[in-house]
A and B are shown apart, each in its own frame.
Chain A
Amino acid sequence: MSNQTSNERNGVDHTLITGVRLADGTRADLYLAGGLLADPAGATDDAVRVDGDGLLALPGLVDLHTHLRQPGREDAETVATGTEAAARGGYTAVFAMANTNPVTDTAEAAEHLVDIAAREAHAQVQPIGAVSKGLHGEELAELGLMARSRAAVKVFSDDGKCVDDARLMRRALEYVRAFDGVVAQHAQDPRLAGPDACCHEGEVSGRLGLPGWPSVAESSVVARDVQLARHTRSRLHVCHVSSAETVEVLRWAKGLGVQVTAEVTPHHLLLTTDELTGYDPTYKVNPPLRPAEDVHAVREALADGTIDIVATDHAPHARHDKEHAFGEAAFGMLGLETALAVVIETMVNNELIDWSRLVSAMSTLPARIGGLTRQGGGLTVGAPANVVLVDPTRRRTVARDDSRSLSRNNPYHGRDLPDPVVSTWWQGRRTYSA
């Protein structure tokens, strides 16, 4: 599939997409010119025409939580391959978590990532900065320098690890207020959920003899953090909400007016802890897959806005890091290429949300929380030309080898799911075509 049309190769990137439906149900034509959406009436004759009849056009999706593995583990994923996978999933921007090697805890590291992306990325890459130096959870990283750098870091997270020191969390929340930053917490109490814990602690783990951790290890940290956010009048973002208990805490906190936002991953919308009975490490993830009651709770929360957005937590792993005994395998699942499919299947097809809510959950709000001005702006004239063309009716049986990612830890292999993304344009340049 060529990513460039002939007139793009000539330096002209004019594309006219005709007859699409938008998320609000109206029909429209979209004209992509000069990296922006322009008035279709001004479409030139040599513009590439794309027939959008029967298709939906959505603003390019924005992922607030991705692991690109570069620098450090380029065998598992690179900026290039990760953003190719993103484009295939309909994403035009990804936020790259800081737990690379070396950790993104300085302005230099963040700018280094931006420079790689400028050369090789197929979507906008916005670095996330670490909260603490080296992710050690002891001292603040140079949050201000990272914010001032060319990377313009706004989101800070030690994801992979929890900022469990209450005092450090307080300082971080206070500090980022100066530049409207946000602290994104991986909520997992390290004492309640120790280093051996590899799954949800419950009936399945008891039977399988796997050490697990209970939901309260997540909700108790969120309960503390929302109160710190209230006290500091700062913005808090809760990563990968996995449990009903955490949803209850978020409802309470939002009712009080706390500035907290939250995300849920596609896998937590679909998969339960029952997947573990074969001890397949593909299903090993942090936070773990939980029982059906929790899956229902997070779906409802995403529908009513208690959980604001969907974020993939795309976590590629080389095969040799997964092909271990379950308790010893690496944590994480792929997610960029299948995210939209899973959200359509679990939320739209179940009539829990409509397309407008999907757009806010997967494009508008992630961009707003992360402070991206050139993303998530909707499909209005003058907005950057970040568009994804979607066929909500098309389906496929997921094949793990059919992937742009370097890794293969796909939890949906063999499953029948929608295959919605037809084409993706980032700043008017087509980055994916089915």
Chain B
Amino acid sequence: MRHLLSAADLDRDEVTAILDQAEEMSQVQSRPVKKLPALRGRTVVNLFFEDSTRTRSSFELAGKWLSADVINVSAKGSSVSKGESLRDTVQTIAAMGVDALVIRHHASGAPLQTTQWIDAHVVNAGDGTHEHPTQSLLDAFTMRRHFRSLGDDSFVGKRVLIVGDITHSRVARSNVLLLQTLGAEVTLVAPPTLLPSGVGSWPVSVNTDFDAALPTADVVMMLRVQKERMSGGYFPTPREYTVGYGLTRDRLATMPEHAVICHPGPMNRGLEISADAADGAASRILDQVAAGVAVRMSVLYQLLGGDEDK
């Protein structure tokens, strides 16, 4: 595997291997010596054009716990305003001799474009509204642990609801692709204005009625909705959004007993998710956060641990 740009880059066996490996590597988190030597001597640069404390620290820890040398470069304030093209920015970093670039960018497609200009491995840490493949992997990791606790860790036939601003969500796109690969059945729930154009051709069901879709869900993944979307006319007020599409206390009661709640964070408590839902027994939100480092260790090891040319 040379790059991880999209959740669609992985087939079912590859996903399983990454998740299994992440299980093994997650043990490091509880050891006194949080170190594995596998990536010793490798250099990883987190090149973030967009702020993200959580994802960046997650990748940073993942690299460091694998003994790689990790540096963070903040390229915020678009290169356009500095007069430097994206190509020049990434080639300058890569010219220092890095093995992998972990790129987060506010524009869709930037990591893919980068692979045309440099030799290093590229990991997409979130590009615009396009994809966030490691997020979908840690979501799958969290879901799989839950399914195992119920005695059946297969995704086949499991019903996953993804609720919220699908149009602008890279987490949604990656999850749709990854869950399809794993055989789950995905339903997207959103008001019509927040469903992406062409969603009819996606391998998903679509429902604008949250209450109708909820009673058969195995997993409910709530997406953050940005209040700024109101100014684009996507929905009239936050309270109308919450009544229609929020995981309120009432809706929590209609969820199946065994179902769990996920959220990629950061949460707008009270808007798309109530405190009861976020903090209740069904919530796996903190597990998702904990899973992030182990999954990213597994991804970095998968890309950099061996030599794919041999």
Contacts and interface: CB of A to CB of B under 8 A. Distances in A.
Direct contact of A and B (CB under 8 A): yes
Contacts of B199: 206
A324 interface: yes
Given A319-B85, A320-B85, A325-B113, A205 B107 contact: no
Given A327-B108, A328-B107, A208 B130 contact: yes
B238 interface: no
Given A208-B130, A279-B109, A323 B197 contact: no
A204 B198 CA distance: 7
A320 B84 CA distance: 7
Contacts of A281: 113
Contacts of B87: 323-324
Contacts of A279: 108-110, 112-113
A208 B109 contact: yes
Given A325-B110, A328-B107, A209 B129 contact: yes
B78 interface: yes
Nearest to A319: B85
A402 interface: no
Given A202-B197, A203-B198, A209-B129, A327 B107 contact: yes
A323 B88 contact: yes
Contacts of A278: 112
Report the contact-size class of chain A (Cβ under 8 Å from the partner): 20 to 34
Given A206-B197, A209-B129, A209-B131, A326 B79 contact: no
A210 interface: yes
A218 interface: no
Given A206-B199, A209-B129, A319-B85, A326 B78 contact: no
Contacts of B80: 324, 328
A322 to B, nearest CB: 8
Chain A contact residues, majority secondary structure = helix
Contacts of B107: 324-328
Nearest to A326: B109
Contacts of A214: 197
Given A203-B197, A209-B108, A324 B79 contact: yes
B130 A209 contact: yes
A206 B130 CA distance: 9
A202 B130 contact: no
Q: Which of A210, A321, A324 has the most CB of B within 10 A?
A: A324
29 contacts: A202-B197, A203-B197, A206-B199, A207-B202, A208-B130, A209-B127, A209-B129, A209-B131, A209-B170, A209-B173, A210-B109, A278-B112, A279-B108, A281-B113, A320-B83, A320-B85, A320-B88, A323-B85, A323-B86, A323-B87, A324-B86, A325-B86, A325-B105, A325-B106, A325-B109, A325-B113, A325-B128, A326-B108, A327-B107
A201 interface: yes
B53 interface: no
Nearest to A200: B197
Contact of A205 (B83, B131, B198, B201): B198
B196 interface: yes
A212 interface: yes
A206 B196 contact: yes
B129 A201 contact: no
A289 B108 CA distance: 18
A326 B170 CA distance: 16
B86 A328 contact: yes
Interface in A82-117: none
Contacts of A327: 106-109, 128
